[in-house]
Chains A and B, each alone.
Chain A
Amino acid sequence: MSIVVFAEQRGGTLRKITYEVVSEGKRLAAAAGDSLKVLLAGSDVAGLAEELKKFGADEIAVANDAALADYTTDAYAAVLAAYIQQENPGLVLLGHSAIGKDLAPRVAARLDAGLVSDCIDVKFADGDYAFVHPIYAGKAIATYKVNSAVKMATLRPNVFPVEENAGAGSVVDFSTEIPAPRTKVLEVKQQGGDRPELTEADIICSGGRGLGNPDGFQLIEQLADILGAAVGSSRAAVDAGWRDHQFQVGQTGKVVSPNLYIACGISGAIQHLAGMGSSKCIIGINKDPEANIFNVADYGIEGDLYKVVPALIEKLKEVKG
């Protein structure tokens, strides 16, 4: 049997999630005694196969086609489904990214395969996989078994460690008939400049209602700049119109799990905690000593964020030289 991993790239660059998913694919392949096959799809992406070789794949199949220049569901689903049909793997892994979320269920439906989305753990024991997926935005953790021949899962970004591994890494071409897509990409806009994407960021600095006004986010951005962090927001700040929904962390926003989450002026409503509760280290800065955030924060600072954050920025500047 084999494990197939879909290697996500955008604009000719492999996404961080790809390294995470390939690394987990290799660990599972070793546990199950399976081979690891990676499908890389795109236009002019053959060069990326070299990069992927470091992660222990037995085979890297490259679907290089001008029709795959933009991500479209129709074209990518045709390629991934055809590759799965050819390889007949026991397990297919994708990242739980925008592309993975769009592509995995489409392909799963085509193959009548079971799919567990947004896994934080995949275990192999007694010849079967158990898929662990937080439900209710992390308020509960559910374990699933999949009973279809091909089992599919998408993996949560920033959870699975990246590991280099030796592998044969033979590169083969893969081609299939690509239908004319029924959607056309007219424009792509990147937001947030050089900042990391929320779900991929190692550090997130978030602001909430306690900022008092939208300009308060300038301070959060300064803090984020020093740490190379992404900027998040509570629902209250989004509902107040201070920040775009794109940046909302919580049950009705993004679920994140960075190494460090700094919550500034965020009270810690249950729906926010659900979205960031799996962060490895949480700092809460709030002037309300009763704020819920202190119940989950590893380190709390009770005080006016407009005094604490500037002092923190100065101290970090000093330390980081």
Chain B
Amino acid sequence: MKIVTCIKQTFDTEAKITIENGKVSDQGVNLIVNPYDEFAVEESIRLKEKNGGEVVVVSVGNDKTQEALRYCLAMGADRAVLIQDPALENGDNHSAAVALAKLLADMEYDLIFCGKEAVDDGAAQVPSRLAEKLDLPQANVITSFELGDGQATVTREIDGGTETLEVQLPAVFSAQKGLNEVRYPSLPGIMKAKRKELKVVSLADLGLSAEDVAPKAELVQAELPPPRKAGRVLKGEVEEVVAELVKLLQEEAKVI
């Protein structure tokens, strides 16, 4: 069983955001594997442990991204491929999906896993865009995965509930929290990861031009949201405070 798992390196979710020249600054920010992608990596490794085969983690990124890929190798993935190119630095979801699809087109795979979205841009586009470019079926936001013969049965989150889907393989699956419990890399795992293959490829290596991955959506500017002002803390006996609150909700905030 060959599994390709797509990951993205993102800011730690605890990170405070600062803006520099209309862009989000990455100065002093702790970088992690996007939390949803960790579920994807974990599921891939579990399937390999059960069925044999290989897990290849792939990413689009820069020098720092190698660290994220090493982390996945330490978890138990077998090898890694990083697509790195100056032309991808200001790329959008389209750029990433085109590059990943071209890389995957020459790889063997039975399953492709991604995280359901990245916690940075929260766009949730790459899994579906990748599936489309590879002409594969997709199942997004999955919380359970069961491998069958030439198909998989998954549970996915929908608005206000869940849906059970039978999906023909190969296919692209995007992982939601709840799919599994993610392991921490073991010390031997970390040691082994240092010797595992991590290949860096450029757009030219993939036979793509800068034009092929030119972003369709371009950032004009990023800014901090207007700070929310602290309001009033109501004080007094519980009954009084609650009566005051309800009055404020009705007459001032007009929300009930």
Asked whether A54 is an interface residue with its Cβ less than 8 Å from the other chain, the reply is: no
Interface set, chain A 265-289, CB cutoff 8 A to B? 270-271, 277-278, 280-283, 289
Interface set, chain A 64-80, CB cutoff 8 A to B? 73-74, 77
Query: Which residues of B are in contact with A by a Cβ distance under 8 Å?
Result: 11, 13-17, 19, 24, 35-36, 92-94, 97, 119-133, 137-141, 143, 153, 157-168, 171, 176-178, 215-225, 228, 230-235, 238-239, 241-243, 245-246, 248-250, 253, 255-256
Contact call B233/A74, Cβ cutoff below 8 A = no
- List chain B residues, Cβ under 8 A from A159: none
Q: Which 3 A-B pairs have the closest CB atoms?
A: A114-B216, A182-B137, A109-B132
Of the candidate stretches A24-32, A84-92, A170-178, A309-317, the one touching chain B is A309-317
Contact call A186/B166, Cβ cutoff below 8 A = yes
Distance to closest chain B CB from A144 (angstroms): 5
Interchain CA distance A142-B121 in the complex, whole Å? 9
Interchain CA distance A73-B167 in the complex, whole Å? 11
Interface set, chain A 116-150, CB cutoff 8 A to B? 116-118, 130-131, 133-148
Distance to closest chain B CB from A260 (angstroms): 4
Most buried by B among A102, A191, A259, A312: A102
Interchain CA distance A308-B35 in the complex, whole Å? 36
Contact call B13/A251, Cβ cutoff below 8 A = yes
Most buried by A among B217, B223, B245: B217
In the complex, residue of chain A having the shortest beta-carbon distance to the beta carbon of B245: A299
Contact call A302/B235, Cβ cutoff below 8 A = yes
17 contacts between A and B (CB under 8 A): A101-B140, A108-B129, A115-B217, A116-B123, A135-B222, A137-B119, A137-B122, A140-B222, A140-B223, A142-B121, A143-B220, A203-B256, A245-B177, A251-B119, A308-B238, A311-B239, A315-B245
Q: Given A106-B131, A146-B217, is A114 in contact with B94 using a C-beta cutoff of 8 Å?
A: yes
Asked whether A50 is an interface residue with its Cβ less than 8 Å from the other chain, the reply is: no
Partner of A185, one of B35, B130, B161, B163: B163
Q: A118-B122, A281-B255 are known; give 18 further A-B pairs, CB within 8 A.
A: A74-B137, A97-B159, A105-B129, A117-B125, A143-B220, A143-B222, A183-B166, A189-B161, A251-B13, A251-B119, A252-B119, A295-B230, A299-B232, A302-B233, A303-B238, A308-B238, A311-B238, A312-B245
- List chain A residues, Cβ under 8 A from B24: 135-136, 140
- List chain A residues, Cβ under 8 A from B122: 117-118, 134-137, 255
Partner of B165, one of A106, A134, A185, A283: A185
Distance to closest chain A CB from B29 (angstroms): 10
Distance to closest chain B CB from A230 (angstroms): 9
Interchain CA distance A260-B233 in the complex, whole Å? 17
Interchain CA distance A185-B158 in the complex, whole Å? 12
The A/B interface has a contact count, at CB < 8 Å, of 276
Asked whether A246 is an interface residue with its Cβ less than 8 Å from the other chain, the reply is: yes
Partner of B243, one of A259, A280, A299, A315: A315
Contact call B92/A186, Cβ cutoff below 8 A = no
Contact call B129/A308, Cβ cutoff below 8 A = no
Contact call A183/B228, Cβ cutoff below 8 A = no
Contact call A299/B234, Cβ cutoff below 8 A = yes
Contact call B246/A312, Cβ cutoff below 8 A = yes
- List chain B residues, Cβ under 8 A from A280: 253, 255
Q: Interface readout for A228-259 with B: 1 if CB under 8 Å, 0 if not?
A: 00000000000000001110100111010001
Partner of B230, one of A106, A199, A294: A294
Distance to closest chain B CB from A56 (angstroms): 25
- List chain B residues, Cβ under 8 A from A135: 24, 120-122, 222
Interchain CA distance A183-B35 in the complex, whole Å? 26
- List chain B residues, Cβ under 8 A from A308: 238, 241-242
Asked whether A215 is an interface residue with its Cβ less than 8 Å from the other chain, the reply is: no
Contact call A184/B232, Cβ cutoff below 8 A = no
Contact call A140/B225, Cβ cutoff below 8 A = yes
Distance to closest chain A CB from B115 (angstroms): 10
Contact call B216/A140, Cβ cutoff below 8 A = no
- List chain B residues, Cβ under 8 A from A295: 228, 230
Contact call A301/B241, Cβ cutoff below 8 A = yes
Asked whether A112 is an interface residue with its Cβ less than 8 Å from the other chain, the reply is: yes
Distance to closest chain B CB from A261 (angstroms): 10
